[in-house]
């Protein structure tokens, strides 16, 4: 029995190490489906989405954003980073980044836009009528957390994604600021490169729905 358990543990470690390609991976996230702007309702503009995440070289746990020493202060890299691959014993194997030209802030902005529209708000942007856009209520967002990480297990692995965003604006629903958090997790036998964006994308989709619910509960 002991030999069987030991063999299973060894195989589990091999799956973890074999499934994750070593080195940096660049894979886009498919977030929530876009929603049509309501024809009526309070108009808002998402004027800024600030990425305030803090990266560490050697974090105490895998859920803390981290990169290699050479890149941790490079905003061109950290703005695109959303996961770090690790082996069965926690050793870092490589970063997971969005493609060039895309950022975590853009991904979160799309999710926020979807959440507001589904709650009945009109979200205006640069393509909107200038007069309407000027009258729309400005909303800002601070990304406090957005990270995807792997939790090894005896029989399966678990991929997690955690999002924490604070929204501010002159809206009754936002009051003195609204912080929306979401934690998504999915169990699997091995982690492939396309599992990272799928986990992050599903988390963004559920985050948008959580924002919709919070806005509707708070009232427009």
Domains of the chain, residue spans: 2-218
The size of the chain, in residues, is 220
For residue 201, what pLDDT is reported? 97
Asked if 29 contacts 99 with a C-beta cutoff of 8 angstroms, the reply is: no
Q: How far apart are CA 37 and CA 55, in angstroms?
A: 35
Asked whether residue 19 carries a pLDDT value surpassing 50, the answer given is no
Asked whether residue 48 carries a pLDDT value surpassing 90, the answer given is yes
For residue 8, what pLDDT is reported? 40
Q: Quote the pTM value.
A: 0.86
The counts of H helices and E strands in the chain are 5, 8
Asked whether residue 31 carries a pLDDT value surpassing 50, the answer given is yes
Helix, strand, coil percent content, the chain, rounded in steps of 5: 30, 30, 40
Percent of the chain at pLDDT above 70?
82
Instruction: Name the band, by pLDDT with cuts 50, 70 and 90, for residue 205.
Output: very high
Closest to 46 in 3D by CA, of 118, 138, 110, 122: 138
For residue 7, what pLDDT is reported? 35
Q: Kindly report the number of other CB atoms within 10 A of residue 48's CB atom.
A: 13
- 146 versus 25: the higher-pLDDT residue is 146
Beta bridge partners of 145: 164
Residue 129 structure tokens = 């009528």
- 86 versus 127: the higher-pLDDT residue is 86
Q: How far apart are CA 189 and CA 116, in angstroms?
A: 36
Q: How far apart are CA 130 and CA 90, in angstroms?
A: 51
Q: What's the mean per-residue pLDDT of the chain? A: 85
Beta bridge partners of 143: 51, 165
Average pLDDT of 67-96? Answer: 82
CATH architecture of 2-218: 3-Layer(aba) Sandwich (3.40)
Asked whether residue 219 carries a pLDDT value surpassing 60, the answer given is yes
Residue 2 structure tokens = 């002991």
Instruction: Name the band, by pLDDT with cuts 50, 70 and 90, for residue 187.
Output: confident
Q: 136 Cβ partners below 8 Å, 6+ apart?
A: 43, 44, 45, 122, 124, 128
Average pLDDT of 36-42? Answer: 91
For residue 125, what pLDDT is reported? 84
For residue 47, what pLDDT is reported? 95
The helix or strand, by DSSP H or E, that contains position 180, with its residue range, turns out to be strand 178-188
Q: How far apart are CA 197 and CA 195, in angstroms?
A: 6
């Amino acid at each position: 029995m002991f030999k069987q358990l030991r063999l299973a543990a060894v195989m589990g470690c091999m799956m973890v190490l074999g499934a994750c390609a070593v080195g940096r991976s660049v894979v886009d996230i498919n977030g929530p489906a876009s929603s049509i702007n309501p024809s009526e309702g309070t108009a808002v503009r998402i004027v800024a989405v600030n990425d305030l995440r803090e990266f560490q070289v050697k974090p105490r746990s895998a859920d803390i954003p981290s990169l290699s020493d050479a890149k941790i202060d490079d905003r061109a890299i950290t703005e695109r980073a959303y996961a770090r691959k690790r082996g069965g014993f926690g050793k870092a194997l490589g970063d997971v980044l969005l493609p060039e030209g895309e950022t975590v802030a853009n991904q979160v902005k799309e999710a926020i836009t979807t959440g507001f529209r589904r709650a009945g708000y009109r979200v205006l942007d640069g393509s909107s009528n200038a007069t309407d856009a000027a009258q729309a209520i400005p909303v800002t967002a601070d990304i406090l957390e957005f990270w995807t990480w792997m939790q090894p297990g005896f029989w399966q692995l678990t991929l997690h994604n955690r999002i924490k965003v604070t929204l501010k604006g002159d809206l009754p629903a936002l009051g003195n600021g609204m912080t929306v958090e979401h934690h998504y997790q999915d169990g699997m036998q091995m982690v492939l490169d396309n599992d990272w964006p799928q986990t992050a994308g599903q988390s963004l989709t559920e985050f948008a729905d959580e924002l919709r619910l919070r806005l509707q509960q708070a009232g427009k």
